[in-house]
Chain A
Amino acid sequence: MTIANQSNRRAYNYAYLDEQTKRMVRRAILKAIAIPGYQVPFGSREMPVPYGWGTGGIQLTAAIIGPDDVYKCIDQGADDTTNAVSIRRFFARVADVATTERTQDASIIQTRHRIPEAPLGPGQIMVYQVPQPEPLRGLEPRETETRAMHAYEEYGLQYLSLYESVAAFGRIAGGAGYPVLVDERYLMSPSPIPKFDNPKLHQSEALHLFGAGREKRVYAVPPHTDVRSLDFEDYPFEVQSWDEVCGLCGCGESYKDEVILDDAGNRMFVCSDSAYCGDRRVAGHAGPMAGHALDGLATGDDNTDDDAAAVGIEA
């Protein structure tokens, strides 16, 4: 039988997950797209990787990926962290896909904590690893209650919490996982991306899929969908900004990480998006610290960790 022959070619199924698990996740993804911002529960099968490693994002990627895809994986904006490299090599092996660090070249971008700086285009898919999908969980621990709040659009508690923040701090506190309203209906956690990235979700050209492995939830923001960060008329939503430009590429607009340079407390700010920063430097942009030893690291390719060992998967 043809089917048996094809599955026998590998020690595991295409993209690692079995077909039945993929169907289950795929059905959940379709409902998530049909109900933007709503958290669709999916079945209770376990992934062969430990939680905290990005199981939700990995399950989504495994369910959607095909051999024609070009795959990029970032962790905190960087392509070269141990996690990002491991996951990228994993899919290169189990799904026969090309991989890239260039945002513009990727068809699927799996991410933890950032949306790339380069504008996303039509046909691109962002896959987010989500540790806590429920935006209301910090305010209401009971799942039955938060489910009812979403069902009947009772988001007063969330506004009250933001208002209390204004009263206490004179502004809306909080930097990551800042809640948004999707298509003016569902309250959604954009995962722990900095609120700097929230505006990139609004009317994006790309499809955004969010996967929470432990909580077994998938939710989505389709392309060209309204995504509004909650705020008040007199306390409008604001994103972080930096007085400093990127030390390496000189960019003023990007999201910056602070890097401590030495024991004397010298520091610089660099783009959190390493591929974006590298592209700019290749194009000739230079920041005040250009030529610093760190300049080479961001584009280095000296990752020696083995993906199979890192994720406990038999080669």
Chain B
Amino acid sequence: MIAAQALTDMAPGFADLALDAQRTFRRLMDSMAKPGRVTDLDVLVSPPVPGFEAAGAIALALLDFETPVWFPDDADGRRLANWVRFHCGCPVTTDPAAAAFALAGPHNVPQIDHFNAGDAKYPERSTTLLIVCPALVGGAAIDLTGPGIAEPLSIAPAGLSAAFWGAVAQDRARFQLGVDLVLTCGTQIVGLPRSTRISPSSAKGK
């Protein structure tokens, strides 16, 4: 439940509902069509947890009563859940496998195989997982190939473990199933849809 006191403190959503949602979606779409590239959403919203600016804007642009959303079960997760539910009217679920969307990180990156990867006949019924990273550069290099990527490309987001990337690689191996990822930091995002094949650069002896 949202207390009345919490409502008066509720951080605002988009200033212009239609146009801010359009601009946010369009840049997200571009990011998913061209995986691995850093895009600035350039939309000003201030979610109650710093660092979640882009993730929050994406939530406001895409979530509604049709999209169960999952948050980590911690204080930040609860603050975000209240804010998103207030602005989007979406159900909040504690079951990652029931989530259409999930917002997490940077201190609490969930195991991606707990989320819904869709099924063979309806692969679109999968979770889209937004992970806030401490930075989108400076971490271990990950090589990317696949649709939307003209030349082999590397990303190096910080804060994600080798075990996490191992799980992502396993997830990719079962395409057409898969969890679609968006890595974010502040107002920036990097799209990593399930179609993107990933491998740690070190595995090739670089």
Contact = CB atoms under 8 A, between A and B. Distances in A.
Interface stretch (B13-21, B46-54, B69-77, B154-162): B13-21
Interface residues of chain B: helix, strand, loop or mixed (majority)? loop
B18 A19 contact: yes
Nearest to B192: A34
Given A34-B195, A183-B147, A66 B15 contact: no
Contacts of A19: 17-18, 21
Contacts of A148: 121
Given A34-B193, A66-B26, A185-B175, A26 B17 contact: no
A30 B17 contact: no
Interface stretch (B60-68, B91-99, B133-141): B60-68
A33 interface: yes
B17 A23 contact: no
Contacts of A147: 121
B120 A152 contact: yes
B21 to A, nearest CB: 7
B33 A6 contact: no
Contacts of A33: 29, 32-33, 148, 193
B163 interface: no
A90 interface: no
Identify which of A19, A33, A34, A226 gathers the most chain B CB atoms within 10 Å of its CB. Answer: A34
A161 interface: no
Nearest to A203: B150
Interface in A202-242: 207, 220-226
A30 B148 CA distance: 13
Interface string A146-162: 01101110000000000
A29 interface: yes
Nearest to A69: B26
B195 A30 contact: no
Interface in A10-34: 13-15, 19-20, 22-24, 26-34
A64 interface: yes
B148 A222 contact: yes
B33 A223 contact: yes
Contacts of B149: 224
A36 interface: yes
B92 to A, nearest CB: 17
A7 interface: yes
B143 interface: no
A148 B121 CA distance: 6
Given A23-B61, A27-B67, A183-B195, A224 B26 contact: no
Contacts of B62: 23, 26-27, 30
Contacts of A3: 17
Interface in A131-184: 147-148, 150-152, 183
Interface of A: 2-3, 6-7, 13-15, 19-20, 22-24, 26-36, 38, 40-41, 43, 63-67, 123, 147-148, 150-152, 183, 185-186, 207, 220-226
23 contacts: A6-B17, A7-B18, A15-B18, A20-B64, A23-B62, A26-B25, A26-B29, A28-B124, A30-B28, A30-B180, A30-B193, A31-B126, A34-B32, A34-B178, A35-B123, A38-B123, A43-B66, A63-B25, A64-B22, A183-B147, A207-B33, A222-B34, A224-B150
Interface of B: 15-19, 21-23, 25-26, 28-30, 32-34, 61-64, 66-67, 100, 120-121, 123-124, 126, 128, 146-150, 175-176, 178, 180, 193-195
Give 10 nearest A-B pairs by CB, closest first.
Answer: A34-B193, A31-B124, A14-B18, A151-B120, A225-B147, A222-B148, A151-B121, A222-B147, A224-B150, A66-B22
